[in-house]
Amino acid sequence: MTIQKTITATVLTLGIATPAMAQGPGDILFNLRARYENASQDGKLGADAATLRTQLGWRSPEWNGFTLLGEIENVAALDGDDDYNSGLNGLTQYTGIKDGAFTELNRLQLAYAVSEAVTVTAGRQYVDFDDGRFVGSAGWRQDKNSHDALRIDYASGAFAASYVYHARLNRGPGEDAHWDGDSHLLRAQYAVSDAVRLAGFAYFIDITEPGAQERSNTTWGGRVTGERAFGDWGMDYALLYARQTDSGSAATDFDLGYWAGDVSVSRGGASFSVGYDVIEGDGVTAFSNPLGKNHGVLGWADAFSGGGRQGTVDGVEDFNVMAEYGMHWEAGLLRGLSAGLRRHEFEAERTGADLGSEWDGHITAEFDGGIELSWQVAEYDGPGVAPAPADRTKSWIILSFSR
């Protein structure tokens, strides 16, 4: 399947599906994402995949405080899956592109507004706290993660708090990769001002799924974020500290720290950011984030993230800088255009050993009507010795539509 055929198929699908979306009460939820991915990794055969993700759902009108939401998700391999490792087809000789073909129930949730301050949501749903690093609905792969959970949210003025009982992470690809659990998630935040927003969390995560129990942990910590304007200049920042210990079904002892900071300055459409992440390792195990997002935390190549863990057994320090420029227009077919480039330098937190470097880049165009076209690339170059991962290069062409 060529890239041109992939894009053509998506445009045809858009044309067929769009007129039907305005019918009936409530809100129709619709998203299409066609993606061509090419990936190569030392020790594996090169791989490429052309896939199409379709999400179709419905949100009911509110009735006596109740709102129902349901959504089906389908991923189709437009050119078959015989030249990449989808995670479902057993072709482990190829570089992994974990986008197997499947259809599943992505969300089915019932929300009840108890009062203006309190909302209860039960069922299969998205859960995202802060930047999703520890708890989030990862959506980079075509199978977007959702959570079987009971959630209670409280919000009053500048204060907000959430409690989640978490029973299952619906990860991908398909249904066989799901993780059952017995977890309790607590988070609170207070906005002092736009310049200072405080958040604290305690996540008691117990993964009971056979083969994944070692990712069980207790993670607690805090985060400070804010933004300020100085004339034509803007600045925003984020600081994070977390501590993690083994708990629940984990049989391995660990006590690991995680701190991260980044600051960005902007003027007009240009921005420049600097980030520094320190993730501890004890020589035996890496930091766990079984309920969080992996992609992009330590580079888009995901050399140090995957399978519910981040870093290496010796930890990782990531110093990165990024420059980006974007333009936006109020009218016309093309509504936005942006480009960015990021450089990562990695080393082992415990030993100080060189872990290589990475370049990430993107060009993104936004069009009228909710259509976006993006080209992204990531190239990780390591020292070729453990615990550094294998060298890899990945690129993507993504065409998406949502309403």
Render pLDDT for 338-368 as a digit per residue (tens, 0 to 9). 999 999 999 999 999 999 999 999 999 999 9
Q: Is the pLDDT of residue 13 over 70?
A: no
Average pLDDT over residues 57-65: 96
pLDDT (tens digit per residue) in 153-175: 999 999 999 999 999 999 988 77
Per-residue DSSP letters for 295-321?
TBTTBTT-SSEETTEES-TT-EEEEEE
Average pLDDT, the chain: 92
Question: pLDDT category, 5, cuts 50, 70, 90?
Answer: very low
Dihedral angle sign, alpha carbons of residues 304, 308, 313, 318? positive
Q: What is the pLDDT of residue 14?
A: 36
Question: pLDDT category, 24, cuts 50, 70, 90?
Answer: low
Distance CA 337, CA 333 (A): 12
Q: Does residue 362 sit in helix, strand or coil?
A: strand
pLDDT (tens digit per residue) in 115-157: 999 999 999 999 999 999 999 999 999 999 999 999 999 999 9
CATH number of 109-402: 2.40.160.10
**Comparing 12 with 377, which gets the higher pLDDT?**
377
Question: What Rg, from alpha-carbon coordinates, does the chain have?
Answer: 21
Average pLDDT over residues 96-111: 94
Q: What is the pLDDT of residue 306?
A: 85
Question: pLDDT category, 10, cuts 50, 70, 90?
Answer: very low
Distance CA 346, CA 241 (A): 19
Q: What is the pLDDT of residue 294?
A: 86
Distance CA 382, CA 390 (A): 7
Distance CA 287, CA 188 (A): 23
Q: Does residue 387 sit in helix, strand or coil?
A: coil
Distance CA 377, CA 361 (A): 5
Nearest to 375, CA basis, from 356, 361, 358, 391: 361
Q: Is the pLDDT of residue 4 over 90?
A: no
Would you say 292 and 279 are in contact if contact means Cβ atoms under 8 Å apart? no
pTM of the full predicted structure? Answer: 0.90
Q: What is the pLDDT of residue 177?
A: 86
Question: pLDDT category, 183, cuts 50, 70, 90?
Answer: very high
Q: What is the pLDDT of residue 176?
A: 78
Q: Is the pLDDT of residue 302 over 60?
A: yes
Structure tokens at 91: 């072709």
Q: What is the pLDDT of residue 403?
A: 83
Would you say 291 and 205 are in contact if contact means Cβ atoms under 8 Å apart? yes
Distance CA 310, CA 70 (A): 32
